[in-house]
Chains A and B, each alone.
Chain A
Amino acid sequence: MTISRRDLLKLSGGALAVGAGAQVLELGRPTPAAAQTPKRGGTFRLRSHVAPVHFDPHQTIAFATMIPLSLAYSRLVKVKAGSAVVPGTQPIEGDLAESWERQGDTVYVFKLRKGVRWQPKPPVNGRELTAEDVRYTYDRFLNAKGNPNRFVLEMVDKVEVLDKYTVKFTLREPNAWFLDRLASTSTWIVAKECVDQFGDLKSPDSVVGSGPWMLQRYEPNVRLTFVRNPNYYIPGLPYVDNVDIALSQDPAAGFAAFLAGAFDFGPEYGMVIRRSDLDIAKARVKNLGTRDYIVVFGGFTAMKLDQDPFKDVRVRRAVAMADNWREVLETNAWSLGKGAPNPLIPAAFRDWTIPIDQLPSEGRRLYESTSADARKLLAEAGHPNGIKVPMETTPGYGPDWMDAVQVALKNWKAAGIDVDMKLKEYGAFVSSSLLGKFDRMMLTLRGGTTDPDTYFTLMLPGEPLNSSGVNDPKLTEMVKQQRRIFDEKKRRDLVFDIQRYASQQVYYAFGASVSAVAAWMPYVKNFGPNIGHDYGGRLMGAWLDK
């Protein structure tokens, strides 16, 4: 699953910062899931601050669409959910697939659960879900024109039906992340009847899935209502009968409604509440359930590697050393200081991000330096009076983002890096700077995908998002190689090596990510927040004890 730049815009730069540094702050310890009997019934009330433009998962990557789809659809495998799951980890379990096995390096065979029925909605009307549906879905996924999600499964060569409940995937080349990709929130299994009847899946009437809730009603820009799927294949789930998502754009109004008891979960994306509002919320809601977790978005600086002064790695290092990631975290309303610096793989991925102290010395220095250090390095690189460079970014990510950019600019200036900021309106920015058409420096947000492998994309030549213009055969080879290692521990070693190497080359400078606070009402049980758009997965095992 991915987040588009446009969505990051609407997440108001919740995690930002251009900088570097050390010290991961400890994550909140989860309250142990008490052994209770789940209660059935009730309505989950949530807020989403963006309205879904349409509902076709093969035509958009917007989380505004994926969140409602996560409630109504299922896929082959999913990420485990519940209060025991540590946020940032993505343990995989079967969803529609009962079991699977890898045959050789490039073949995966999935055995589907038997007797799974689609939701009792026309035109599918509750018939049984078979392997043919899976084949149809991925056929459309890979071949539909304009599917921005295609890169998620671009390694798939063909999908074949072996029998009614067995599907075989053949990959072009080995990719150890295949299962993680399949568990993302764009790989929903869709029904052919819907596409045939509606032409595409954009209309809310065409949302017929096999997930825990059914989309009952969509009032554009107002609300989404879901009702329990009586055919859901896990008996007893979901516990809660209805889900009501209010579409409200204003964060102040959203927070006010939360205080007034209109929502069961924190009003911002990921069930989060701004840390600056936490005390007020706690005052009003006794025993508010909370949990901290590091979010996956963060800012980064792209530098044109074929232009002066960024040809010299020392200058790039100075840029990364000079911005004060700690200050950015401290001045941000969502983090108030709590968060973590990011190496190449975002710190949110607890299992795959390299701890800063395991980086080589040049890499560590990026996160622990002062402006004076950066100034010295610049002088060594032949710029004793500092450098002056243009930079492009957009205010479209929100005032929090612009604040962070201001902090970065100030700290760069203190190190002798005089950055001349040129702002572009969001639409113009996405169509030009983001795709590499900028002069020397660009600042933007990354994040959204929940498998670490996609974060290597900006290092690979030929990728549209490779804005710095990286072409490093050694790096490319390492990235390709780690995809072929199935042993997790060995893969991690290589992934760590890649991050070490990246920290020495500094093709990009990565900003820190905030540690956000997820919040929920005390009567919500067995809920655990996590990164990603899979609201449905996280809600289906939770219940209301009211």
Chain B
Amino acid sequence: MKKYVLRRLLVAIPSLLIASLIVFTLPRLLPGDVVQLMLEEKAYGKDLEELRAKMGLNRPIYIQYWEWLGKIGRGDLGESLWTRRPVVEELLRRLPVSLELGLLALFFSILIALPIGVLAAVRQDTLSDYVARSLAILGLSVPGFWIATLVVLLPAIWWGWSPPIQFTEFAKDKWAHFSQFLIPAFILGIASAAAIMRLTRAMLLEVLRQDYVRTAWAKGLRESIVVAKHSLKNAIIPVITVMGIQIAQILGGTVIFEQIFGLPGMGRFLFDAINQRDYPVIQGVNLIIVSVVVMMNLLVDAMYAFLDPRIRY
């Protein structure tokens, strides 16, 4: 087990290095010069070069890359070209917001998906199965931002109520801070629920046909016990895998919800940085997200290996 984890860790390092290379070059492929964007359209020829030099953008690429890598080793991700605030500082402020949103969304996802998945498997091909699955897929099919818009706008028009538009920090008011995530997380969760539901159902179906389950049946055990004790445990494994994937998707896809609900998370931060060609921010945020995902995959694989001793590759 330990050797396996170590091996996976070693394997993750080249992934991260390749990722860092991609992360570094990708924003520089974007057309449009960041300095010109800064000066908007009032570009003064001389100033352009000086500004570029001041920001260190006129040195050869490989030197900039090497320097960046070195800084990372010291825990410094550079400063935003626009605001001059350290990237690490911004990330520390925003990452928790995105994570909270993502984790809460995942929680709602599971809350919705597991019961539906179990129901659909146990009552396979009955009306309950069809209705349950339809509802789950419907949750996936309606664009999230549409539901969010309705939820935000309609109560305001009908009753003069809207979700809080300003973000409350955890320190200021714990309940207000938590409650502002509820609505967006729920809507996000509805969308992810379908994938988890599918997998739960499929896994449960497969497990239910196994011999030991039929044995339990034959022994006369109540259905619920059969399902819970024997099947669910084994069905859980792939579900965890999917959860890992969902987290990655959620982390990358929270932009829209951050925008609509006014949550200062990483999604919007990254989006703006790309539009503004703020290279250090793009690089820093990308690197963090990629690292988080790679680590998450590692964790999932380790849990996988832990739970199922047959798996070792």
Contacts and interface: CB of A to CB of B under 8 A. Distances in A.
A431 B32 contact: yes
- Pick from B37, B42, B160, B277 the residue with the most CB of A within 10 Å: B42
Interface string A191-225: 00000000010110000000000000001111100
Contact of B40 (A6, A203, A249, A260): A6
B262 interface: yes
Given A249-B259, A256-B152, A464-B43, A146 B38 contact: yes
A92 interface: no
Contacts of B43: 435, 464
Nearest to A198: B84
Contact of B31 (A5, A6, A427): A427
B198 interface: no
Contacts of A220: 83, 85, 90, 93, 264
- Pick from A53, A151, A256, A257 the residue with the most CB of B within 10 Å: A256
A252 B38 CA distance: 29
A318 interface: no
A428 B31 contact: yes
Contact of A250 (B36, B167, B259): B259
Contacts of B155: 256
A26 B169 CA distance: 47
Given A250-B262, A253-B152, A465-B41, A430 B32 contact: yes
A145 B50 contact: yes
A223 B166 contact: yes
Interface string A1-39: 000111000000000000000000000000000000000
Given A253-B262, A255-B156, A262-B162, A431 B37 contact: yes
Contact of A5 (B40, B152, B163, B259): B40
A54 B47 contact: no
Given A220-B90, A261-B160, A435 B41 contact: yes
Given A53-B83, A54-B83, A252-B149, A427 B166 contact: no
Given A253-B162, A256-B153, A427-B31, A202 B84 contact: yes
B42 A260 contact: no
Nearest to A283: B157
Nearest to B274: A427
B275 interface: yes
Contact of B36 (A255, A256, A431): A431
Interface residues of B, number: 47
B153 to A, nearest CB: 5
- Pick from A47, A60, A252 the residue with the most CB of B within 10 Å: A252
Contacts of A62: 40
Interface string A42-80: 000001000001100001111000000000000000000
Interface residues of A, number: 53
Contacts, number: 147
B40 A219 contact: no
Contacts of B152: 250, 252-253, 256
A257 B156 contact: yes
B157 A428 contact: no
Given A146-B47, A248-B262, A253-B162, A430 B153 contact: no
Contact of B165 (A6, A151, A253, A435): A253
B61 interface: no
A145 B167 contact: no
A146 B39 contact: yes
A223 B44 CA distance: 33
A284 B157 contact: yes
A434 B31 contact: no
B276 interface: yes
Nearest to B166: A246
Contact of A202 (B32, B36, B83, B277): B83
A257 B261 CA distance: 11
Contacts of B44: 146, 150
A150 B275 contact: no
A45 B67 CA distance: 45
Contacts of A234: none
A260 B32 contact: no
A259 interface: yes
A537 interface: no
A164 B291 CA distance: 59
Nearest to B154: A256
B110 to A, nearest CB: 27
A426 interface: yes
Given A53-B82, A426-B275, A427-B276, A248 B50 contact: no
Given A145-B54, A262-B162, 7 more contacts: A6-B40, A220-B85, A249-B262, A250-B152, A256-B153, A256-B156, A430-B32
24 contacts: A47-B165, A61-B42, A146-B51, A148-B38, A150-B42, A202-B84, A220-B264, A222-B167, A248-B166, A248-B262, A249-B268, A250-B261, A253-B262, A257-B162, A260-B156, A260-B162, A262-B165, A427-B30, A427-B32, A427-B275, A428-B31, A428-B32, A435-B41, A435-B43
Nearest 8 pairs of A and B residues by beta carbon: A427-B32, A256-B156, A256-B162, A4-B40, A148-B42, A257-B165, A260-B162, A259-B156
